[in-house]
Amino acid sequence: MATSQESSPGLLDRLSTMFDNLIKVTTTKAPIGKTPRQAIWTLNKATLYRYTPVKPPEERHRVPLLLIFALMNKSSILDLRPGNSFVEYMVGKGYDVYLLDWGVPGAEDAQMSLDDYVLEYIPRAVRKLKSVSGSDTFNLLGWCIGAMLSTLYASLRGHSEGLKSLILLTAPLDFTDTEQISLARMTDERYFDVDRVLQAFGNMPAGLIDYGAKMLKPVENFVGGYVRLLDNLDNPKVVESWHAMNTWVNDAIPLAGAAYRQFIVDFYRGNKLIKGTLAIRGEKVDLANLRASLLNVIAEDDHITPPCQSARLLDKVGSADKHELRVPGGHIGVMAGSGASKGTWPQVESWIAARSE
């Protein structure tokens, strides 16, 4: 009896510590996006960053690498935390790495369209990158909607502006198989009035985008992550990883209204890029004009951008050097999960390396 009474305070202390740690991890932000960098150009809310090289000039790849992420999430996912950062990995491999960060659109940006991002922001950032790097050519890596924007840019301007190679990660380009695309069914015009939503909010609120994505796998997104955290509270590595990812996931940003409307009407509903009817500021977007070396990375378990949305791309582009890479993992885990540093990253890096000299 005495032993049981003596052990109770110890158990209560451990439970108290556990819940204190749980509250701390779930209510505070983790330090993410910490690889040293300098802002070298800005336009409205967007900023072009250059990451501080760690290799001497003679040991760096000659062709710089530009990274572009989605419009409705912060780009810090590419530089999540030390030891699990694609940016840190590539800088360590001797690349001159640049990141075009879109920033956070305000109410005054509601009329910004995909046309603005593709024909104003990316070309200007590219000119600055080439000026700073001294290179006439560059490599471009786009992820998610960043891959869509990169594809449009590559088709319209890439050949004339020195794009050497293009790496697309989970690119939402083909909306033919709508039954396999959960977000297409969710935003079907029978159920979703995009104009009414934008009339009410101006920009598409971050919360609506986030909850829409989470509802694709509600149990996993609303419960599963917390269960795994509770099961691993005594494992510092797991807690640190969960804390960083949770910080990024819950720091989403709104999407400029006009761009969001194009995304829904021209892509999800109209499938105009694949049909060959998409125009950006009056210019027809022809994938056959995409001639840069192309690596199309498809995440096998992606429920946000299912493989069918990227699988037919190689048949459409004009690139002579084109490859498809299928890797295990989901939409985010494929590049930011625990296995990315030994799986996706080395394969992507080796492909870029062969085209960066």
Residue 51 parent element (H or E) = strand 46-51
Phi-psi sector, 329: left (phi>0), alpha (psi -120 to 50), beta: left
Residue 323 neighbours by CB distance under 10 Å: 12
Non-local (6+) Cβ contacts of 88 within 8 A are 35, 79, 82
Each residue of 121-146: b (16+ CB within 10 Å) or e? Answer: bbeebbebbbebbebebbbbbbbbbb
SS3 for 218?
helix
Extract the tokens encoding 214. 């989470």
- Is 302 one of the annotated active-site residues of the chain? yes
Torsion angle in degrees (nearest 10) through CA of 11, 12, 13, 17: 100
SS3 for 98?
strand
List 101, 109, 144, 210, catalytic entry: 144
Q: Are 310 and 170 in contact (CB under 8 A)?
A: yes
Give the C-alpha separation, 54 to 47, whole Å. 22
- Is 144 one of the annotated active-site residues of the chain? yes
Strand partners, 101: 47
Residue 221 parent element (H or E) = none
Q: Are 348 and 61 in contact (CB under 8 A)?
A: no
Extract the tokens encoding 164. 């050497």
Give the C-alpha separation, 33 to 310, whole Å. 28
SS3 for 88?
helix
List 79, 116, 174, 331, catalytic entry: 331
Catalytic residues: 144, 302, 331
